Amino acid sequence: MHSSNRRTLRGTALAIGAVAASIVLAACASGPAVPTDEDPTTGTETTGLAEAQEMVDMWISETGTYTEPPVDGGPAAVNDKSIYIISCGESSSSCARATAGAVSAIETIGWEYTIFDTEGDYSQAGAGVRQAIAADADGVFSYFIDCSYMQGPLAEAKEAGIFVVQAEGIDCDVTDPSAEPGFAWSVTYNEGPVYEWIKSFGAAQAAYAVVASGGTGNSLFIADSESIMTAGQIDAVADVFASCSECVNTTVAYTFAEQYEGLAQQVGNELLKNPNLTQVISAYDGILQAGVSEAVLQHTRASGMEIMMVGGEGQTPTIDLVRDGVIAAGVGLDNEAEAWSAIDALNRLFQGVEPVGSGIGVQIFDRENNLPASGPYVSPIDYQSVYRAAWAVS
């Protein structure tokens, strides 16, 4: 699919009772929400529930922790720039949505662009950077690809005077403090750098589960074992559950290959091994779509048990499952907002102005709160209008 300037290569705070109501409505969700720190079955105090409720109240509010991006005052858009978009894989809903956001922002600002699709093979990202150098591009936007996959080409781009900005990747100096940063700018969030933000994301998922179960849930958290970002999410989920005295949490980590080759069976086996499970949490939506939701549904049909599912960022399939009552909740992320922030960063770098934060925070959605009328989760902030005003474009 081509356009005139496109070339494609490879490519309100909520009380706990309201939370309970949304879960009762869910056909495959369970877990009584009890607005007290006392376990009614034993009369003992359950620690951690009140703290989890406070977190849910904050994150399920009308805007969560989102704010307008702090771009008031410009600079206005600079003219005649060419940008390479390096996609983490257009077959992935999150990656494709980030690309779409970048395209929308670039077209709004009036620049040209080229899409380089790694097709999920991040080792190809360096080739995309080198193509940008050969094409004499002015800037590059990379999404969800760590610096380590393209450290050499990033150094070459810097030498060539090409700005490379990114979202949701980990820079080289984060993993190796002695290394030079590979990126000219990394999208930042209201919680801080991406690694801090993802920990709040995971804490929100776990807090919702704790509140939904009244502090007595038995949860399975499913995440990958290869991503630095997900490692922070795993730690945050574990911390929230550890503060809940009557909660049980088991983490299942898998490789990226297993996500596509047998993850559903692995989850099914875990469900059989733990007949007391009441909740399943997926680190992000790709996991749900790779067979987790199917495995849970098959298990509940066969066993007659009810298991509440918590999803990730709110891609369209997940939002549809929330509407249908299959999934109870998720933590929203508008990938397009990340891309608009990255393009604003490029516009600033081109003019010698320091980039600013994205205004992106954390917000929980469920069947009763923050669910869009159609399509995927969208930011509660009209960020596009804010950027257009800053760029002085229509």
Summarised one tens digit per residue, pLDDT across range 34-91 is 334 444 444 445 689 999 999 999 999 999 999 999 999 889 999 999 999 999 999 8
Q: Are 66 and 381 in contact (CB under 8 A)?
A: yes
pLDDT of residue 363: 98
Question: Which residue has tokens 């080739």?
Answer: 127
Question: Which residue has tokens 């989850």?
Answer: 267
Q: Is the pLDDT of residue 179 over 70?
A: yes
Share of the chain above pLDDT 70, in %: 87
Q: Is the pLDDT of residue 10 over 70?
A: no
Q: Is the pLDDT of residue 132 over 80?
A: yes
Write out pLDDT tens, residues 227-284: 788 889 999 999 999 999 999 999 988 776 666 677 888 889 999 999 999 999 999 9
How large is the C-alpha radius of gyration of the chain?
A: 21
Residue ranges of the domains in the chain? 15-65+195-331, 82-188+334-358+380-391
Q: Is the pLDDT of residue 21 over 60?
A: no
Inter-CA distances, 117 with 7, 8, 334, Å: 11, 8, 20
Identify which has the larger pLDDT, 49 or 394. 49
Nearest Cα neighbor of 29 from 300, 369, 327 is 327
pLDDT of residue 259: 61
pLDDT of residue 299: 92
Considering the four listed CATH numbers 1.10.150.120, 3.40.190.10, 1.10.357.10, 3.40.50.2300, the one that applies to the domain covering 15-65+195-331 is 3.40.50.2300
User: Strand, helix or coil at 92?
Assistant: coil
Q: Are 338 and 345 in contact (CB under 8 A)?
A: no
Helices (H), 189-227: 194-212
pLDDT of residue 369: 98
Classify 82-188+334-358+380-391 by CATH class: alpha beta
Identify which has the larger pLDDT, 265 or 317. 317
Q: Are 9 and 118 in contact (CB under 8 A)?
A: no
Q: Are domains 15-65+195-331 and 82-188+334-358+380-391 of this chain identical in fold?
A: yes
How far is 269 from 97, CA to CA, in rounded Å?
Answer: 33
Share of the chain above pLDDT 90, in %: 75
Q: Is the pLDDT of residue 95 over 60?
A: yes
pLDDT of residue 260: 62
